Amino acid sequence: MPDLSHVSQPDLRRALGQFATGIAVVTARHEGRSVGMTISSFTSLSMEPPLVLWSLRDNARSRAVFEAAQGFAISVLSESQSGIAAHFARGHADPFADVETIAAASGLPLIAGALAHFDCRTDRIYDGGDHRILIGRVSALSVDEGRPLVFFASRFSHGVVPMEVASHA
């Protein structure tokens, strides 16, 4: 393994890109302003209590809304939703104008047709280098069948084929 005393950003990105993730859109609202953002940092944290987390880059334009909002809503995208992922990776004056949404119990917008939805109350926010780590307590959810949109090696992929694995439960 090469010397890692000087980790360059391109090397770090390339190595982290080998870790395949799903893709989600996170939404929030504060004082009438609704925001939505494509994220790959969404992950599970705790079963009891039910907690999830994601990280928000410090220089995101929507940062103030995500930090001030009481909660956030997560939509886990399906393999047919790469267009939605690309849409919410760019800043928009009215991000939900041309996107089909449904309302979470909290009233936050969720992406229609997503594989899973999580309605979350913000539990804690931590510093994490050039990102903030937002932890949410899940207050409602929904699950649908389908195949996920995957982010791998800086690209969207689909075609995840489930295989049998020994259960560790």
Ligand X SMILES: Cc1cc2nc3c(=O)[nH]c(=O)nc-3n(C[C@H](O)[C@H](O)[C@H](O)COP(=O)(O)O)c2cc1C
Residues in contact with ligand X by the rule CB under 6 A = 23, 37-41, 54-57, 60-62, 88-89, 91, 151
**Distance in Å, CB of 166 to ligand X, minimum:** 31
Nearer to ligand X, 89 or 112 (CB): 89
* Residue 25: burial class (beta carbons within 10 Å; 0-12, 13-18, 19+): buried
Least distance CB 5 / ligand X (angstroms)? 27
Least distance in Å: CB of 122 to ligand X? 15
List helix spans (H) across 88-133.
none
CB of residue 24 to ligand X, shortest distance in Å = 9
Instruction: Between 133 and 141, name the residue whose CB sits nearer to ligand X.
Output: 133
* Contact (CB, 8 A) for 148 and 77: yes
Q: Choose between 58 and 144: whose C-beta lies nearer to ligand X.
A: 58
Whose Cβ is closer to ligand X: residue 13's or residue 124's?
13
Query: What does the DSSP assignment read for 125-152?
Result: EEEETTEEEEEEEEEEEEE--S-B-EEE
Shortest distance, position 164 Cβ to ligand X, whole Å? 29
Nearer to ligand X, 54 or 118 (CB): 54
Q: Would you state the structure tokens that stand for residue 57, as one six-digit string?
A: 């880059």
* Alpha-carbon span 78 to 85, nearest angstrom: 10
Alpha helices in 26-100 (DSSP H): 63-68, 82-87
Q: How far apart are CA 114 and CA 74, in angstroms?
A: 10
